[in-house]
Amino acid sequence: MNKNMEQRILGKDLKVSAIGLGCMGMSHGYGDPKDKGEMIELIRKAYELGVNFFDTAECYGPYINEELVGEALKPLRDKVKVATKFGIQLKNFKQTLDSRPETIRQSVEGSLRRLRTDHIDLYYQHRMDKNTPIEEVAETIARLMKEGKVLHWGLSEAGKDNIRRAHAVLPLTAVQSEYSMFWREPEQGIIGVLEELCIGLVPFSPLGKGFLTGGITKGTQFAKNDFRSTVPRFQAGNIAANMDIVELVKSVATRKGISPAQVALSWLRAQKPFIVSIPGSRSLKHLEDNIEAVAVTYTDEEMRQLNAAIDSIQLQGDRYSPENQKNIDR
């Protein structure tokens, strides 16, 4: 493993590489799954390059992504941190939410089996379940911690009120939320609360689901098994309207001699010391490019100018379908 990779602390004491690897896209969400053998090799290569923080969920596939991650990391299990999630069942990208205690218990046993491990380093509630009080969820996780099956816990797409309520029962280590130059809502919402309570932030989709890399154009057609086909933000009219942010990222990349992806990832890393993003990757080229973003720095003046430029851009389109948008906690 590359010992030079920067390490960051989530919560009180979960030490992880400054950039993680989101594994979802290897087998779910972005079209047809990639070859399992190639993805196992890629995950192990990520470890060699310095990544020790890997993210999955039971609903990715469903189930097959956890199986992939479990097989890939089995030889490295004591050297890495694995995060997975409970609380969502998916069918045709539509979400059914269930965080009842008995369901969490079933989920954790299934995840442990698929991940080929006896413990989960970071276990997230994937979405708030309005039918199960967050205090009841926290109490269930506390019992799993006493059994040694879960070491740390977190929430995904949680609002400020539920973060505070959950943390009061059982201290949270991390909150996962979409956050990028393409979606900055956490700055007005949860980041201040996380800083106050010493909770880490793990941004998913730090590359704007591929948009910030410049690889998506207004003529891009998404397959039916690519969830972006259901997202308003990726309708042709909105793609065209949002190209200003892509042009900005490209201009910064040219000026600094780096890739657009490295601009997006290094910008995120610079926002707070408790932020660890988890870009997905399905190729060695993109993996290496993403990891190299850890070395990119900005002067205070560069960051001031970049943030002012982002502020001046008006972006269009919701980030989820109406069906899934209603499941986001605010």
Q: What distance in Å separates the CA atoms of residue 32 and residue 25, rounded to the nearest whole number?
A: 9
Question: b or e along 10-40 (b: 16 or more beta carbons within 10 Å of the residue's beta carbon)?
Answer: bbeebebbbbbbbbbbbbbbbbebbeeeebb
Residue 132 · residue 100 · CB < 8 Å: yes
Q: What pLDDT is recorded for position 129?
A: 96
Neighbouring C-alpha atoms within 13 Å toward the C-beta of 21: 33
Residues 6+ apart with CB under 8 A from 314: none
At 187 the three-state DSSP class reads helix
* CA distances from residue 316 to 29, 47, 112, 237, 306 in whole angstroms, order as listed: 22, 37, 40, 9, 20
Q: What distance in Å separates the CA atoms of residue 261 and residue 292, rounded to the nearest whole number?
A: 10
Residue 119 · residue 154 · CB < 8 Å: no
Sequence ranges of the domains in the chain: 7-208+266-296
Q: What pLDDT is recorded for position 329?
A: 83
pLDDT tens-digit readout, 45-97: 999 999 999 999 999 999 999 999 999 999 999 999 999 999 998 777 788 99
pLDDT in tens, the chain (330 residues): 888 899 999 999 999 999 999 999 999 999 999 999 999 999 999 999 999 999 999 999 999 999 999 999 999 999 999 999 999 987 777 889 999 999 999 999 999 999 999 999 999 999 999 999 999 999 999 999 999 999 999 999 999 999 999 999 999 999 999 999 999 999 998 999 999 999 999 999 999 999 999 999 888 999 989 999 989 999 989 999 999 999 999 999 999 999 999 999 999 999 999 999 999 999 999 999 999 999 999 999 999 999 999 999 999 988 887 777 777 787
Looking at domain 7-208+266-296, its CATH superfamily turns out to be NADP-dependent oxidoreductase domain (3.20.20.100)
**CA-based nearest residue to 178, from 49, 319, 281:** 319
Neighbouring C-alpha atoms within 13 Å toward the C-beta of 306: 24
Q: What distance in Å separates the CA atoms of residue 305 and residue 128, rounded to the nearest whole number?
A: 37
Q: What pLDDT is recorded for position 52?
A: 98
Q: What pLDDT is recorded for position 320?
A: 81
pLDDT tens-digit readout, 2-54: 888 999 999 999 999 999 999 999 999 999 999 999 999 999 999 999 999 99
Which helix or strand (DSSP H or E) is residue 270 part of? helix 260-271
Q: What pLDDT is recorded for position 86?
A: 98
Residue 289 · residue 23 · CB < 8 Å: no
Residues noted as catalytic: 60
Q: Helix, strand, coil proportions of the chain in percent (round to 5)?
A: 45, 15, 40
Output the pTM of the full model: 0.96
Residue with tokens 């000026």: 255
Question: Could you tell me if residue 158 is left (phi over 0), alpha (psi between -120 and 50 degrees) or otherwise beta?
Answer: beta
- What type of residue sits at position 272? K
DSSP 226-266: BGGGG-GGGSHHHHHHTHHHHHHHHHHHHHHTS-HHHHHHH
Q: What distance in Å separates the CA atoms of residue 54 and residue 120, rounded to the nearest whole number?
A: 11
Residue with tokens 């605010």: 330
Residue 207 · residue 279 · CB < 8 Å: yes
Whether the bond between 62 and the residue before it is cis, its omega within 30 degrees of 0, is yes
Neighbours of 281 (CB within 10 A): 25
